[in-house]
Amino acid sequence: MTNAKMPNAKTASFWNFDEAMLERLVEEPEGAANGQLLPMQKYYKHGVSACEIDYMRAMLSMPLRGLQGKTQVFPMDREHFVRSRLTHTLEVAVNAAEIFDEMLAKADDPNPDCGQTVLTEKQIQTLRYALMTACLLHDAGNPPFGHFGEETIRDWFNQRDAASGEAFGDLDLCYFEGNANSLRMALRGTGLYDGRRLNPTLLTLCAMVKYPWDAREAVARKPKKVKYNYFASDSKRVEELQRASKKAVGLSDRERSKLSLVMEAADDVSYATGDFEDAFRKGMFTVDEAVSFMAKRWLSWSDEGRFSKKCRQNTLTLIYLLSFIAGDEEDYEWMNNFISGVQEDDNLIAKGGRIGPHYADYLLANGGGYPRGSDTVHTFRKALADGSDGKLDAAQRRQMQETYVGRWVDVVRAWLRYSVACSLSRPDVDGEKEADLFGDHYATIMLLKDVLEHFVYTSPENAKLNARAETVLKGLLDKFVPAAEECIQENEAKSGKSPINPEGISSTAASLIALIPMRYRLDYESALNASEPRWDADRQRYELDMMVLDFVSSLPDDYAVQLYNDLYEAK
């Protein structure tokens, strides 16, 4: 339990909660003054909150629906039901809510004399809705083909323009970032002209910001790992957000919302556990391969003195549980011999820490430090011992084993969520380092990522998928970027060169531009006409490139392939 005299998850100051954060960047007037945005509160009698509206808008939005056709790691198939970017996003929202609720459960009721404002149930629900909405939108700006899609876009622009930082916005293009594109979609909404703009509250927008800086600062911070949340194109909106939320979250001072830390941790938990489960189902590795790899990686960490002893012991517990729950007799015996070889205590599991609330108490028999026997915990070994082993072929045996790998993943997921809740319950955690989020289980999340890197991300199968993604995305950019850039107006007098009415450009370019949905073209046109001073040619080129990226990033994988084939098969 936390100290009742300190700010904790039940207090407003812990979350920097302020009612002013429920305002929106764009005011939504009621009645006749509201030309586009519907005053949704008028439809309900139960007093719907501002952040609940955020949640409903996000859940019903086009950007979220578009994620169902985008790759998480593996292309969608009908046999294995692997995760799409949409199902990953929904899992992030669920894991984030679980972490949030656990933080509340861990907190003592604040002392009435400590001067802390206690959150009401309505305010807690408001925070939860803001958190879940941020999770729903956190990947909405990611292009097709997973993270490799981002890398392909960066590579295309780097080949065309060196990232010198001299031309306006060139760093945004050469270091294209899905996090920044997701915030861009939330700020702009993708629906300025169809009356269905997202327009989230300040609280939700701040929860989306993981990297409160732009590309230029990101390059200066970590040139080899450029992460940021602000495109130059959206600088005015970002400045408005910084000013409006300054009393609660100092975004301009590189401060982050506590909700954004929860979202980031939930994202890591979701993809590390979900991708592991999907990879096993797809046959990327076996249980014995995973156990062997993890044990040897753990041993190298131990020899190097990497991570704390408690952190390493927690992770060894995790590896042991994989062999115990999902391994066969050979896997289980190998792991026991490994533990004996490294001279770990027989009481390993008991010392391994809590695997989520109360799970260790359930798993251990009479506090003796040993897992419960086959009579109390159903394992893959027990399933085989029941008589099924001799009746199953290799494929059926593996399908049965998937169930137990899934159970192990459930344990790990709960373990990590609980660990994050413990870490983030400390008022002084700033989340600058990933280790701050996971505490004594940081090695666990790193080990899962290492497994995925070794067996999945660098596999020949993945290389083939990446090659296709590169061909498709670069082919689309080869077509659409030059076509859009024909619309650059060289002087301030309005010419016919416009994405809306593209006169004076080649017929090929006009045909390609017509394929870009009108909402993206209207957004560009509106911003151009409102610019003061009017954009010069360099700024127009950048904004037109961003318009193309708005379109390309919205494409589901299959439609991107289809569009590529339609454009290039005609040759």
pLDDT tens string 467-482:
999 999 999 999 999 9
Lowest mean pLDDT among 96-100, 218-222, 386-390: 386-390
Looking at the structure, do residues 40 and 128 belong to the same domain, yes or no? yes
The single-letter DSSP state of residue 201 is: B
Residue 401 burial (C-beta neighbours within 10 Å; 0-12, 13-18, 19+): buried
Q: Could you tell me if residue 52 is inside a domain?
A: yes
Residue 466 burial (C-beta neighbours within 10 Å; 0-12, 13-18, 19+): middle
Across 84-88, 204-208, 322-326, 365-369, the highest mean pLDDT is recorded for 204-208
Looking at the structure, do residues 106 and 185 belong to the same domain, yes or no? yes
Q: Is 372 a residue whose pLDDT tops 60?
A: no
The pLDDT value given to residue 279? 93
Looking at the structure, do residues 422 and 324 belong to the same domain, yes or no? yes
Mean pLDDT, range 120-148, rounded to an integer? 95
The pLDDT value given to residue 498? 76
Looking at the structure, do residues 123 and 141 belong to the same domain, yes or no? yes
Chain centre to alpha carbon of residue 152? 19
Chain centre to alpha carbon of residue 284? 23
Looking at the structure, do residues 194 and 85 belong to the same domain, yes or no? yes
Looking at the structure, do residues 373 and 497 belong to the same domain, yes or no? no
Do the beta carbons of residue 323 and residue 335 sit within 8 Å? Answer: yes
The letter for the amino acid at 445 is I
Looking at the structure, do residues 244 and 317 belong to the same domain, yes or no? no
Lowest mean pLDDT among 199-213, 445-459, 488-502, 550-564: 488-502
Would you tell me how many other CB atoms lie within 10 Å of the CB of residue 500? 12
The pLDDT value given to residue 349? 45
The single-letter DSSP state of residue 11 is: B
- Mapped onto helix, strand or coil, the DSSP state of residue 84 is strand
Lowest mean pLDDT among 68-72, 532-536, 563-567: 68-72
First to last CA, the chain: 68
Do the beta carbons of residue 488 and residue 512 sit within 8 Å? Answer: no
Question: CA 426 to CA 501: how far, in whole Å?
Answer: 56
Residue 139 structure tokens: 């990947």
Which of 225, 260, 295 is where one domain is finished? 260
Residue 10 structure tokens: 């039940």
Would you tell me how many other CB atoms lie within 10 Å of the CB of residue 80? 13
Which of 457, 489, 515 is where one domain is finished? 457
Residue 538: which domain range? 462-569
Question: CA 190 to CA 498: how far, in whole Å?
Answer: 19
Question: CA 64 to CA 137: how far, in whole Å?
Answer: 7
- Strand-pairing partners, residue 11, are 118
Q: Could you tell me if residue 247 is inside a domain?
A: yes
Lowest mean pLDDT among 70-79, 216-225, 247-256, 541-550: 70-79
Task: Give the torsion through C-alpha atoms of 272, 276, 279, 284, to 10 deg.
Answer: 110
Mean pLDDT, range 311-333, rounded to an integer? 89
Mean pLDDT, range 453-479, rounded to an integer? 92
Which of 457, 483, 512 is where one domain is finished? 457
The pLDDT value given to residue 163? 55
Question: CA 555 to CA 383: how far, in whole Å?
Answer: 44
Looking at the structure, do residues 468 and 430 belong to the same domain, yes or no? no
> pLDDT tens digits for 169-216?
899 999 999 999 999 999 985 444 444 578 899 999 999 999 999 999
Lowest mean pLDDT among 19-28, 343-352, 411-420, 477-486: 343-352
Looking at the structure, do residues 188 and 80 belong to the same domain, yes or no? yes
Q: Is 37 a residue whose pLDDT tops 60?
A: no
Do the beta carbons of residue 208 and residue 134 sit within 8 Å? Answer: yes
The pLDDT value given to residue 295? 94
The pLDDT value given to residue 120? 94
Q: Could you tell me if residue 4 is inside a domain?
A: no
Lowest mean pLDDT among 46-50, 210-214, 504-508: 46-50
Which CATH number fits the domain that encloses residue 112?
1.10.3210.10
Looking at the structure, do residues 200 and 104 belong to the same domain, yes or no? yes
Do the beta carbons of residue 72 and residue 263 sit within 8 Å? Answer: no
Q: Quick one: pLDDT band at residue 261, thresholds 50, 70, 90?
A: very high
Question: Which among 406, 400, 402 has a CA at the least distance from the CA of 273?
Answer: 406
Q: pLDDT above 70 covers what percent of the chain?
A: 83
Q: Could you tell me if residue 334 is inside a domain?
A: yes
Question: CA 88 to CA 73: how far, in whole Å?
Answer: 10
Do the beta carbons of residue 556 and residue 469 sit within 8 Å? Answer: no
Q: Could you tell me if residue 494 is inside a domain?
A: yes
Mean pLDDT, range 217-237, rounded to an integer? 93
Q: Could you tell me if residue 159 is inside a domain?
A: no
- Cis-peptide, bond into residue 357, ω within 30° of zero: no
Do the beta carbons of residue 408 and residue 428 sit within 8 Å? Answer: no
Q: Quick one: pLDDT band at residue 492, thresholds 50, 70, 90?
A: low
pTM over 0.85? The answer is yes
Question: Which among 517, 520, 508, 510 has a CA at the least distance from the CA of 487?
Answer: 510
The pLDDT value given to residue 367? 43
Looking at the structure, do residues 299 and 443 belong to the same domain, yes or no? yes
Residue 122 burial (C-beta neighbours within 10 Å; 0-12, 13-18, 19+): exposed
* Structural domains of the chain, count: 3
Residue 194 structure tokens: 């169809």
Do the beta carbons of residue 107 and residue 1 sit within 8 Å? Answer: yes
Q: Is 100 a residue whose pLDDT tops 70?
A: yes
Q: Quick one: pLDDT band at residue 40, thresholds 50, 70, 90?
A: low
What is the chain's mean pLDDT, rounded?
85
Q: Could you tell me if residue 271 is inside a domain?
A: no
Looking at the structure, do residues 209 and 79 belong to the same domain, yes or no? yes
Do the beta carbons of residue 99 and residue 417 sit within 8 Å? Answer: yes
Residues sharing a CB contact under 8 Å with residue 157, sequence separation 6 or more, in sequence order: 163, 170, 173, 174, 176, 545
Q: Is 276 a residue whose pLDDT tops 60?
A: yes
The pLDDT value given to residue 385? 81
Helices 178-188 and 121-137: angle between axes, nearest 10 degrees: 120
Helix residue ranges, H only, 60-211:
62-66, 85-106, 121-137, 146-160, 170-174, 178-188, 202-208
CA angle, 553 then 96 then 223, to 5°: 50
Q: Could you tell me if residue 192 is inside a domain?
A: yes
Matching residue, tokens 């429920």: 22
The pLDDT value given to residue 191? 46
